[in-house]
Structure formats: C-alpha cells, structure tokens
Amino acid sequence: MSSINSLHPPLGDTVEPRRWTMLAILLCGIFLAPLDFFIVNVALPAIQHELHATSAQLQLIISTFAASYAVFLIIGGRLGDLYGRSRVFTIGLLGFVASSIMCGLAPTITFLIVGRALQGLSAAVMVPQGLATVNVIFPAQEKPRAFSVYAATYGFASAAAQIIGGLLISLDILHLGWRAIFLLNVPVGIAVVCIATPVLPKLAGLTGRKLDVKGVILLALALASLIVALIEGREAGWPWWSFGLLVVAFPLLLLGFWKHEQRVARGGWPLVDPEALRIPSVRLGLGAALFFYSIAVMFLLLAIYLQDGLGEDPFTAGLRFAPFGIGFFLGPLCAPRATRITGAWTVVLALLVEVAALLAAAWEVWSALPGSTAALVPLLFLIGFGQGLAMPMLLRVILAEAPAHLSGLMSGMINSTFQISAALGVAVIGSVYYAWLGAGTGPGAIGPAFAVALVCVAACLGVSALLLAMMIRTKKAAA
C-alpha cells in the first residue's frame, strides 16, 4: 500500500497512483452527510405526526444538524491537520454511525434533535478530510475534475436522499417508518470503515499545535443564540428574551469570538485565521458562500408543500425532488467544459439561471391550480443544475488561495460557511414562511407561503452572484 507522509502535495512527477480509488472510498463515507441532511426533509410530516413536533421543532431538526456541522467543520479540518486525515476520517464516520442509531431509536422529539446535533458534529469531523485530501493528492491539472466529482456526489446525494427516504417510509420495513432513514447509515458506515482502513493514505499530522477550544465554544454559542432566537422566538410570539439574544447576546459573542481569534493568531493556531480573511478573493468568496446554501430551506418547505399541501405520499413526494438532484449531479460534471468557454464568469451565470428559475417557480406555485406540479419539473432541474455548476467553482477559487499545509483549515471554512448558510436559511426564511402561513392549511395557504419563501431564496442567491462578480473583478484588477 502506498502512503503519503507529508501534508504537502506531491512534487514534480511524483503522483499518488491510487488517488482515484482513494477519492471513491472517501466519497462513499462523505456521501452519508448530505444524504442525511436531505433525506430527513421527506420524513418531516411523519416525524411531526409520531413525535407530536411543533413547526419550530421541525426547523430545529434541520438547523441543529447544519449549525453543529458548521461550527465543528473548522475544528474538524484542524483535527485532520493535527492527527492525520485517514485516522480522523474513520473516527468521524464511526461517530456518525453511532449518532444515526441515536436518531433512529429516538423516543421523543428532543432526543431526536440532540441526535441530529451529534450527527452534524460527527459529519464535521469526517467531511473536511475528504476535501483536504483531494487538494493534496491530486496534481494541479486533475484538481478541477476531482472537485467536480466531489461536488457531483453532493448532487447525487440530494437526488437519492429524497427518493430513498420516501421509499423507506412507504415500505415501512419492520414497521420502522421514518426511523429507517437513520438506521440505513449503520451498515453502510461500517462497511466503508472496513474498506477504508487499509487503503486510505496515512497522512502525517502537524506537531506542536493546539486546538482553539475557546474559539469553538464562542462560535457555537453565537450561532446557537441566533438560531434559537429566530426559530423558538417566532414560535413563542417573539418574547423579550428572543430580542435579547438577537440584539445583545449574538453580536457580543460574535465580537468576542473575533477578538479571541485575533489574539490567538499572534502566537498560536486560531480557529479562523484573520490573515486568511485579508485576501480579497477569500473574503468575497466566503461572503458568497454565506448566501449560496440558503437554498437548503427549499427542501424542507417543498416536502411540506407536497405532502401537507397537495396530500402526496412520501414516496411520490420524494420522486418530485429527482429533477433537482439530476441537475445538481450533472452541473459539476459540466463545470470544466463551461469554464473553458466563459471562464470565471460561469459561476455568476449559473447563479443567475437559478435566480430566474426560482422566481418562475414562485410564480407557478402562487398561481397554479391546486395539485398542479408539472411546470415545476424543468424549473427544479434548472435550479439544481445551476447550484451544481456553481459549487465546484466556489470550492476551487477559495482553496486556490490556501497553502497546502493549511488545506484542512480552508476546507473546513468553506464547508462551515455553507452549513451556516443552510442553518440561517432554515431559521430566517423558514420563519418568514411560517409567519406568512399563519394558521392556514391546504394548498390555498401553503402554496403562497412557499412562493414567498422561494422569492427570499432567489434574493439570497442574487446577493451571492453579486459578491462573486465583485470577487472576479477584484482578482482581475490585482492581476
């Protein structure tokens, strides 16, 4: 078995011969993280019925996973840099299996939400090792293709998740119902661990470094205060404590986190290196990523629209997500060719296509006859294609600025920003949806509320496109 004993990429003609096999193994494990993020959407109505969950608790099932994932992704990248990526990948995957069992056996909604938070933490330990390893073991000319395959995996997961989830719930294997969507991870995760252990490269870690635990705590508290205020505050009728969290706790914790990171950077190893954020392309790229994944709320609300609004069963509703997933899968595969034609502007054009499709979908949902969903099929495909086309380019642009020995940090920052975007999208746009919905039920109420949410998502992606356009102009001016 070949091994890599350095965090630096291969030099000269020395290239890891088993790099594509290694990538395939890593992606089999990493596939579970987006699978579980997306698969739960189609199960939310069933979970709400069995565990008597409120609308706020349904939002928390999504946002706690995303928030935990976001906060610990950066430290997950650091762990790989410190202790070796193969070892940390295996530990993260085993943790994901254990937390999936917890979710699958959850007796109450609170137990399930805690399990989802632990799933997010475990995924955060596992996922950065794959992106960082890709950045190290592949030569420069193969990185665009490798990143496209990495992004396409997320697209395939998004398509497979909805269909697999709907099928498992409809089949009701062993009378498990929605619980099967979590227990599915157990045999898959164990199989990947057994295959990965003898094959993955033994990447050496850095020595003499310590984790920024205080930074993790401050960032976790800041994000938790914001999400709890937005979700639980709306459910409770916006009491005084929700405004206290939004106006006082969140900004103070965020400021404390930034000041702490600046102090640590002067003589240690910060969670977020302020020096990296001084690079204009990195700063603008992360800003674009902060709005890019707000689209995650669309999956939650589309599942509710199809099942509670139109009365579809879970499997039929799951099939409705397939056009998005197919587009998301094909988009990254087309990214290298599209880039050769339109260059860096491809990512901006892809997002503008998404914005147009989202606005068209909003109009269709608002004005369509009850039960009509045929017109959404091509629009969902375009939304998925644009998202999939843009994602690998975002990854490549930001990682291109990172030194190889800190690729774990940068991969964690990118993925963390995506998940913060998802968590905030569910919290903010989800609250707009439920506020518009009020006490209404059926397609006549759910449809317009869903349409308003789609317009909000389109606005977020428009901001992302604007920031990326500014990034491209900044890089050209500096060239």
pLDDT tens-digit series, residues 357-399: 999 999 988 886 655 677 888 999 999 999 888 887 777 766 6
Mean of the per-residue pLDDT values of the chain: 82
Q: Is pLDDT at 7 greater than 50 in this prediction? A: no
Residue 228: band (very low, low, confident or very high) from pLDDT cuts 50, 70, 90:
confident
Burial label for 115, CB within 10 Å (0-12, 13-18, 19+), is: buried
Better-scored residue on pLDDT, 442 or 214: 214
State in Å, rounded, how far the first CA of the chain is from the last one: 42
Burial label for 401, CB within 10 Å (0-12, 13-18, 19+), is: middle
Residue 478: band (very low, low, confident or very high) from pLDDT cuts 50, 70, 90:
low
Better-scored residue on pLDDT, 445 or 358: 358
Q: Which of 199, 253, 230, 217 is nearest to 59 (CA)?
A: 230
Distance of alpha carbon 77 from alpha carbon 409, whole angstroms? 5
Distance of alpha carbon 127 from alpha carbon 335, whole angstroms? 22
Q: Is pLDDT at 20 greater than 60 in this prediction? A: yes
**DSSP one-letter code for 370:** T
pLDDT of residue 51: 94
Better-scored residue on pLDDT, 178 or 83: 178
pLDDT of residue 442: 59
Which token pair is 16?
């890891």
Residue 82: band (very low, low, confident or very high) from pLDDT cuts 50, 70, 90:
confident
CA dist 393 → 223, 336, 346, 390 (Å): 27, 9, 8, 6
**Each residue's pLDDT tens digit, 260-311:** 888 887 776 777 777 777 777 778 888 888 999 899 899 889 988 888 888 8
Residue 186: CA count within 13 A, CB half-sphere: 13
What's CA 171's distance to the chain center, in Å?
28
Read off the amino acid at residue 90: T
Burial label for 435, CB within 10 Å (0-12, 13-18, 19+), is: exposed
**Each residue's pLDDT tens digit, 130-177:** 777 777 778 877 877 887 787 778 767 877 888 899 899 988 888 899
Locus of tokens 């428009």: 462
pLDDT of residue 441: 63
Which token pair is 451?
């349409």
Comparing 2-16, 240-254, 332-346, the range with the smallest average pLDDT is 2-16
- pLDDT cut 70: percent of the chain above it: 87
> Which contiguous run of DSSP H or E holds residue 113?
helix 109-137
pLDDT of residue 10: 45
Q: Which of 129, 142, 136 is nearest to 11 (CA)?
A: 136
**Each residue's pLDDT tens digit, 327-356:** 887 887 787 788 788 877 888 999 999 999
Q: Is pLDDT at 207 greater than 80 in this prediction? A: no
Q: What is the mean pLDDT of residues 102-126?
A: 94
SS3 5: coil
Residue 452: band (very low, low, confident or very high) from pLDDT cuts 50, 70, 90:
very high
Better-scored residue on pLDDT, 73 or 348: 348
Q: What is the mean pLDDT of residues 180-203?
A: 85
SS3 433: helix
Q: Which of 47, 298, 43, 34 is nearest to 159 (CA)?
A: 34
Residue 84: band (very low, low, confident or very high) from pLDDT cuts 50, 70, 90:
confident
Q: What is the mean pLDDT of residues 408-422?
A: 75
Q: What is the mean pLDDT of residues 188-195?
A: 90
pLDDT of residue 11: 39
pLDDT of residue 427: 86
Q: Is pLDDT at 405 greater than 70 in this prediction? A: no
pLDDT of residue 369: 60
**DSSP one-letter code for 271:** S
Alpha helices in 172-295 (DSSP H): 180-183, 185-196, 213-235, 240-244, 250-267, 280-292
pLDDT of residue 303: 86
Q: Is pLDDT at 9 greater than 60 in this prediction? A: no
* Residue 203, C-beta contacts closer than 8 angstroms, at least 6 positions apart: 4, 5, 6, 7, 80, 84, 85, 86, 133, 136
Q: Is the dihedral of CA 328, 331, 335, 336 positive or negative?
A: positive
Comparing 178-187, 261-270, 400-409, 426-435, the range with the smallest average pLDDT is 400-409
**Structure pTM?**
0.80
Comparing 44-58, 241-255, 367-381, the range with the smallest average pLDDT is 367-381
Comparing 25-29, 40-44, 411-415, the range with the smallest average pLDDT is 411-415
